[in-house]
Amino acid sequence: MPASGLLITGTDTGVGKTFVVCGLAAALHRRGLRVAPFKPAETGCERDPVSGELIPADAQLLRRASQTEAPLEIICPYRFAPPLAPEVAASQAGIAIDPQRILDCYQTLSSAHDIVLVETAGGILVPLAEDFNYGDLARFLGLPVLVVVRSKLGAINHTLLTFKYLASAGLSIVACVLNHPFAERSLAVETNEATLRRLLRQPLYVIPHSPVSQRPWENRGFDELAAQILVQLPAR
């Protein structure tokens, strides 16, 4: 039977999606599930100085957190050096990202795991190929969406715009995660949580994010989020 799946997107780049997917993958694994991360395209990859191969650092971290044995080539089939939208990076490399290849990799992961966590590069409308963005990918794979927000000035507008698009596209939203920085203090950070709880109908989870001192797979704050997601995902 195919695995359940979830697409994790952000309101912007650099909002902490990989942090959240790592923590969620580890929490689901603690519940006895076989978890596969899937990052169809990763940009900003550095080259291995020996092999010259592009190394997808985020995908490697996701693989470690989920404790899967799936090959990295399936977890992250497209890798590019320029830190650009995947379609733009692919065009500069002289190739086109093939949605069918993405589907094949997803199905391979799905066949051997209980749940597949699909991480976008940037936000939901970032293009993967011509006339094919991550919102299209969610529809293509039939996935509900988890939205990650970095708590900062502008977070409310970015969140509402993302939710507005998801609703108009007919995509299901399971929850929203607000990444609260540990050290940063501002009036926006202090008020974002209460405002989003008032404006959103979906569950909102707040998880402090310290990329330097905290390993996400050890953060037990993701356990409640994992339980919420399992309730909302279709039964296998």
Catalytic residues: 39
Residues 6 or more apart whose CB falls under 8 angstroms from that of 233 comprise 4, 5, 6, 115, 144, 174
Please state, in angstroms and rounded to a whole number, the distance separating the CA atoms of residues 142 and 145. 10
Confirm if 90 and 40 have CB atoms less than 8 A apart: no
Nearest one of 104, 98, 92, 103 to 129, comparing CA atoms: 98
Give the phi and the psi of residue 6 in degrees, each rounded to 5. Answer: -150, 135
Q: Is 120 helix (H, G, I), strand (E, B) or coil?
A: strand
Please state, in angstroms and rounded to a whole number, the distance separating the CA atoms of residues 180 and 207. 6
